[in-house]
Every structure is written in C-alpha cells, then in structure tokens.
Structure 1
Amino acid sequence: MYPNLYYAFRDLLGLELPFLKIFQTFGFFVAIAFLAGAYILTRELKRREQLGMLTGIPEKIVTGLPASQGEIIGNAVVGFLLGYKILGIFFNWDTASQDLQGFVFSSQGSLFAGILLAAAMGGYKYYSKKKTAKAKPEEHTVLVMPHQRVPDIIVMAAIAGLLGAKIFHNLENWNDFVQDPVGALLSFSGLTFYGGLIVATIVILSYAKKRKINIRALIDSAAPALMLAYAIGRMGCHFSGDGDWGIYNSAYTIDTNTGHTLKMAPANFNDAIQKNAAFFQQQYPSIDRIPHAAFEKPAALGFLPDWLFAYGYPHNVIKEGVQLAGCEGQYCKVLPMAVYPTPLYEILGCLVLFFVLWAIRKKIKIPGVLFGIYLILNGIERFFIEKIRVDTRYDIFGYHPTQAEIISTLLVIGGIVLITIYRKSNAASNKLS
C-alpha cells in the first residue's frame, strides 16, 4: 500500500522524494476522479448542446474594472494559508516530516512565509487587474453555455460532496464520532460515498435550476461521469488502504513477516484468530463473532493472484493491524488475517458499468432515462458488495441492513420510478404531437 505518493515513487520507481509525503494517495486519486468526471461531463454537455438539448443563457459582464478590495483580500488570505502551511512545511521540515498530516491540521506553520505569499498574491491580483482597467468600464452581454459552467459545478460538487460524505460517515459511526469529534471531522479517512452523492446532488440541482440548465439533460450527461469518478475514487481507497475493505476470507491468512497472502483451511480460522487475539479484541466486542466467509480461488482461475481474493493491506494508511517484521516508520501494519479487497472489486465493476453507460448514452432518446439506469446499476453494484463489506448495521424490524444497503435500495427504486415517469411523459408528449 502507498499511504502517500512518497511511498509510491519509492516502491515503483526507486525514487526517494521526501516532499511527496505531503500528497496523500487517497487525495491524489480523488483529485484525478474529479478531473476525469469533469472531462466526461464537459464532453457530454457539448454533445447535447450540439443536439439542441441544452442551450445557454445571456449574462451581463463588466470589463475594465480595477481589482476590488474583496478580490485583493481574498487572494491575500489564500496566499497566507498556502504560505503558512505549504511553505511552512519546508521551513519546518525536521518537525513536519515526522507527521505531515498532523502538521497540516495543527497551528504550526511559517508566519514569514505566510505574510510573504499573502503580499505576493494580493499584489498580483491588484497589478494584473490594473493592467486591464479602463477609464470607463464596459458592459457586455455574453451567452454562457452549460459546459462552461463545469468548473463551478465541480467545485460545488467537491465541497458539498466532502461535507456530505463526512456527515453521513459520522452518523453511521456515531459512537466513534462522540469519542473524538475533532479527529473524526479532520481525518482524511472516513468518507461515505452516498452521503457525498446526496448532498452534492441537492446543491448542483439547485444551481442548475437557478442557471436555467435543463435538469434531465444535465443528469444524463453526469451519469457516465459519476460512474467513472466513483471507480477512480475507489482506487484511492484500495491503494492507500483506508479501511474500506471487506470481511475476512477464512480460506486465507497473512504472513505477517512479508505481508503476503497464504492459503489456509477454513477450519483453522478460529485458531488463527486466537494467535492474534489482542488485535481482534480491540476491533470486536466478541472474537467469537468476527464476520468472515470462506472463498478459495477456483482452479479455473489459477492464473489470477491470491491477493485478488484475499489481501492483508500491508502499510495501510490507517495503521491498522499488527507489526510487519523488519519494518520501521509510520506505516508498518498489516492485517493479521486476509480480507476481501472490496475496493478492487468496485474499481473493476464500476469501470465496466461506465463503459456500459458510455456505450448506450446515444441510444437512449428519452431525457432522464440514462440517469435512471445509472441509479439502478449503481444501487445494485453497491447493494451486493455490501454483503462482504465491513459496515455498521441497523436493526429495522428484525432486518440488519447497512446504511449503504438502505440507500442503494432506494436508488434502485428511484431509478425505476424515474424511468417509468419519463417514459410515460414522453409517450404522452408524442400522443399530443
């Protein structure tokens, strides 16, 4: 596993670049997911604009204005934060390199670097606007197309998605949140995808309505982008080892000396648990009720590696497990028993579903139906992966679903309802015409 990009470059390329410790692997893949989603969304919006399904709206803009106090102060504040923290890391490298995440969320930094960068960015805004300022500012009317609003949509999706993901995760793990609310809110781990999706959807639809963007064409354009972004985001979960893995596969164990996956007779699962009882007692109220399911790699798939079926996530970013022999540093833990690498399954599954949506997007003629199909596919995928994932379960009339199972079921139902409504409304429109 690669907790941050320093470990990835060291292991894959043999390069030791300490400054890369700043960049968390999970955050890196989330950024790539947003960029990929933005690219696909932009392409689809442009295509639908050419088909006449989306149109722009005229907006008035004023050119030739000097920089306002708000713009200068805003740039200066951003510059101060970047200088105080990012440049502060280099000015305090001996301290910061020990725990970069802790340094970023502490009060430590470089006041000198903060003031310097604040002055530079505030001054740059002032002088760059001064160059284009006119004695008499001019007002223009421009036609703004939906695809030109993608940067705004992505920024809103990122902020709203992060807040929603944090809120839903902490609601799902309320006891952990109560014990350490500050740590739970500021940690890089602990994000619930559906929470982010729900909150971001509400915010973006409100924005689209305000900007008079055709909602049905917008959500159809977003369907493939969302599926691809989710697949890439799960790469961050897998390659960082953020704890978003499955239950134990009792047909395998882990060699804690090397971190490698080894086959084991399922009957020996309890004996193996007892060998690492101290770890499991911290994780579960009773080590007699540890969730597990045995599934050995089929002989017909003998060419596939064992870690595709069971994995120990050595060097995981959340530092969970037992000590790896001979390892020194922050990230030296490996799970003592092999788990199902569910993020890997979701990566593969959602990439396939992305290509399915991409292949049928031009064949679906009724606006809104493609998004309904996305909801159904996404809900089914997540519902079944939950069967081998570790998640908090609720007690609802004798059933014990996870939060994701509840939401994924609602997504499937919602997708069916959307498709039904949009098909009926399309049929009614055709009759009237």
Structure 2
Amino acid sequence: MYPNLYYAFKDIFGSAPSGLRFINSFGFFVALSFLAAAYVLTIELKRKERTGLLTGQDVKMVVGKQASPGELLLNFLLGFLLGYKIIGLFISGNASGDPQQFIFSSEGNLPVGLGLGVLFAGLKWWEKHKQKLDKPEERTIRIWPHDRVGDLVIYAALFGFLGAKIFHNLENWNDFVANPVEALLSFSGLTFYGGLICAAVAIWFYTRKHKINFTLLCDAIAPALILAYSLGRIGCQVAGDGDWGVLNSAYVTEPGPKSKVVLADTATFQRTLQAHGNFYLRNFQVNNTSEIPHISVKAPGWLPNWLFAYTYPHNVVNEGAPIPGCTEEQYCNQLPIPVFPTPFYETIMAFLLFLLLWSLRKKLKAPGTLFGVYLIVNGIERFLIEQIRVNTKYSIFGFHPTQAEIIAVLLVIGGAALYFIMKKKYETTLAAKA
C-alpha cells in the first residue's frame, strides 16, 4: 500500500523527496477523479449545446475597470494561505509529521505566505491593468453551460465533502459522540452517497440561479459521476483506507515482511482470529469473535490470490498487526486475515458502467432517462458490493441493512420511476407535436 506519494515514489524509484509524504494517495486520486469528471462533463455539455438542447445565458459585465481593493485583498489572502500553509507544509522540515494537525494548527511559514500573497495581489492588479479602458463600459457576454464546469466542480467538491462527512458520522454515531472535533476535521471517513446527495442539492440551486436545464445537466453529468467514482476507488485501494471487504476465511496472512497469504483450514482461521481477537472485536464492534462476518472463497488457479484475499500492508489507517521488520515510523501494519479488496472490484465495475452510460448518451432521447439509468446501475452495483463489505448495520423490523444498502435500494426505485416518467412525458410531448 502507498499511504502517500512518498511511499509510491520510493518503491518505484528507490528514493523520494520527503515532501511527498504530505500528498495522500487517496486525495491524489480524488483530485484526478474531479479533473476527469470535469473533462467528460465539458465534452457532453458542448455536445448538447451544439444540438440546441442547452443554451447560454447573457450576462452584463463591466469591463475596463482597475482592480478594486476588495479583489486585491481577496487574492492576497488566497496567496497568503497557500504559501503559509500548503507550501509551508512542504518546507517545514517536519517530514514525518501529521499534515492534518499542521493544517489545522497556527503553524506555517510567514515569509512565504506574505511573499505569495503579494505576488497573487500583484498578478491580479497587472491582469486588470492590461484590460483597463479610459472609460469602463458595460458589455453583454454569453456564458454557456460548459463555461460553468469549473464552478460546478467546486460546488460538487465543497458540498460533496460536507455531505460525505455528515453521512459518515451519522453512520458511525458512537465514534462521533466520543470525539466530535476529530470526526469532523479528519480527512478520513467519507460516505459517497452522502456526498452525492448534498452535492446534487447544491448544484440544483446553482442551475436555478443560472437558468441551466437541471434535467439535461443530470444526463450530462451521469457518465462523469460514475467515472469519478471509479477513479476515487483506486485511491481507496492504493491507500488502504479501511473501505475493504469482509474476511476471506480461506486464507491467513503468513508472518513475515512480504504480506504473503496462504491457504488455511477452519482451525487455522479460528486460531488466527482468536490470536488477534481484540483487534477484530474492536474493528467490527461485536462482543464475540463468532459474530465477525467472513466468507471462504479460494482463488481459481489462473487468478492471483490477492484478487480474493488481500492484507493491505502499510495501510493508511494503521489497522491490523505489526509487519515484522518494518522500520518506518508510520504505516507498519497489515491485516492478520486477508479481506476481499472491494475498492478494486468497484473500480472495475464502475468503469464498465461508465462505458455503458457513455454508449447510451446519444441513444436515450428523453431528457432525464440517462440519469435514471445511472441511478439504477449505481444502486445495483453498490447493493451487490455491500454483501461483502464491512459496514455498520441498522436494525429495522427484523432486517439488518447498511446505510448504503438502504440508499442503494432507494436509488434503484427512484431511478426506475424517473426513467419511465420522463420517457412517458417525452413520448406524450412528441405525440402532441405530431
């Protein structure tokens, strides 16, 4: 596992700059997922604009004005924060420190912060000065939906992160109550569906404000969403963030630095489980090891064992037992009993669903139907993967679903209803025009 890019570069190239310790692998792939989603969304919005489905909005703007004190101050503050915190993080000399603790502390590099703040303010002043006119004038500029992709991504990222944190803490209420500050400020602990729901609400308000057809935007964003999910799950797998499957009782981890898994009979599995009972009881929040979920599946001879049983060595959440011979200051644990690598499964499944949605985007003519299909396949995929994932279960009328299973079922039902309603509405509109 590569908790951050330092470990990845060190493994690949033999050495790496210590500053790469502060670029978490999960965050790196999440950033890539947003960039990929923005690119795909831009392509699809432009296609809908060319076909006349989406139109631009005329906006009046005053051009030729010099930069205002407010604009200069805002750019100074952005530059100052970037230099004081982010660049200060890399050159602080505390390469083994906790980046989360550093960012939320008062520590930073004051000279770099001030210098970058002045630079940002100066660049803004120069940009406006070059465009300055003797007499500022009001002009009408047409802004197309694809021009707003940057804003949409920022809204999705901000409210998506907020929603993911809220839903994760609702799902893990006891942990939140025990330490609410840590739970809210931690970079770990995110629930995808919570992010999706809150981001969708925020974007709906944004489209109303800027007169963008929300239904058509949903269709355009559907392939981008599933692609972003696929890339984000790579980050979960590479970092080993605890978002993995249940135990595969057909194997145990062989003691040693290579994290090798070996076949195990029932007695060997039970001995290993008992030997690390405290860890598993705490991790699964049960009172007896007999309650710990596990499935026994042996890998076919033509596939590698890790596809069915992975130990997540050096995982970013430091779960498991110490790895013999590991000399790193952090991330020296691996799972005593391997688990199903569900993030890898979801990466593959989500990418195949992206290809499906991308192939359907021109075939489904009724607005809203492509997004309906996205909700259906997304819900089915998540419901299936939940059968072998570790998650908190609720007790509802004798059933014990996870939060994700409940939302997945609602997505399938809602997606099917949306598909048939929008399809019927589209057919009725065509019939009325005929």
Q: Normalising TM by the smaller chain, what interval? A: over 0.9
- 2: CA distance between counterparts of 1:77 and 1:247? 46
- CA deviation digits over 1:251-294, x for unaligned, max 9? 11112412122221245322211122232243233222111111
Fraction of identical pairs, as percent: 53
- 2: CA distance between counterparts of 1:417 and 1:278? 46
Tell me what 1:297 maps to. Answer: 299
Post-superposition shift, 1:90?
4.4
Q: Match of 1:143, SS?
A: strand
User: Which residue identity does 2:410 align to in structure 1?
Assistant: L
TM-score, scaled to structure 1: 0.96
User: Which of structure 1's runs of 4+ aligned residues deviate more than 4 A?
Assistant: none
- 1: CA distance between counterparts of 2:310 and 2:368? 40
1:4 aligns to 2:4 (yes or no)? yes
Contact 1:79 1:120 in 2 (8 A): yes
Contact 2:22 2:90 in 1 (8 A): no
Q: Match of 2:247, SS?
A: coil
Contact 1:246 1:390 in 2 (8 A): yes
Contact 1:256 1:334 in 2 (8 A): no
Post-superposition shift, 1:15?
3.2
Q: Match of 1:190, SS?
A: coil
- 2: CA distance between counterparts of 1:11 and 1:146? 43
Task: Summarize the Cα distance change of 1:352–1:266 in structure 2 as closer, same or farther, 3 Å threshold.
Answer: farther
- CA deviation digits over 1:317-358, x for unaligned, max 9? 111111001102211010111111100100010111111111
Post-superposition shift, 1:107?
2.1
Tell me what 1:366 maps to. Answer: 366
Contact 2:21 2:95 in 1 (8 A): no
Tell me what 2:322 maps to. Answer: 323
- 2: CA distance between counterparts of 1:99 and 1:429? 59
Report the RMSD for the aligned CA atoms in angstroms. Answer: 1.4
Tell me what 2:21 maps to. Answer: 21
Contact 1:5 1:24 in 2 (8 A): yes
Q: Match of 2:139, SS?
A: strand
TM-score, scaled to structure 2: 0.96
Contact 1:310 1:341 in 2 (8 A): yes
- 1: CA distance between counterparts of 2:40 and 2:74? 31
Tell me what 1:74 maps to. Answer: 74
Tell me what 2:250 maps to. Answer: 251
Contact 1:96 1:103 in 2 (8 A): no
Tell me what 1:390 maps to. Answer: 390
Post-superposition shift, 1:96?
4.7
Q: Which runs of 5+ in 2 are unaligned?
A: none
Contact 2:377 2:412 in 1 (8 A): yes
- 1: CA distance between counterparts of 2:267 and 2:203? 51
Tell me what 1:229 maps to. Answer: 228
Contact 2:382 2:404 in 1 (8 A): yes
Q: Match of 1:150, SS?
A: helix
Tell me what 1:124 maps to. Answer: 123
Q: Which structure 2 residues correspond to residues 57-96 of structure 1 after superposition, within 5 A?
A: 57-93=57-93, 95-96=94-95
Q: Match of 1:392, SS?
A: coil
1:31 aligns to 2:31 (yes or no)? yes
Q: Match of 1:388, SS?
A: coil
Tell me what 2:111 maps to. Answer: 112
- 1: CA distance between counterparts of 2:431 and 2:99? 64
**How many residues are aligned here?**
429
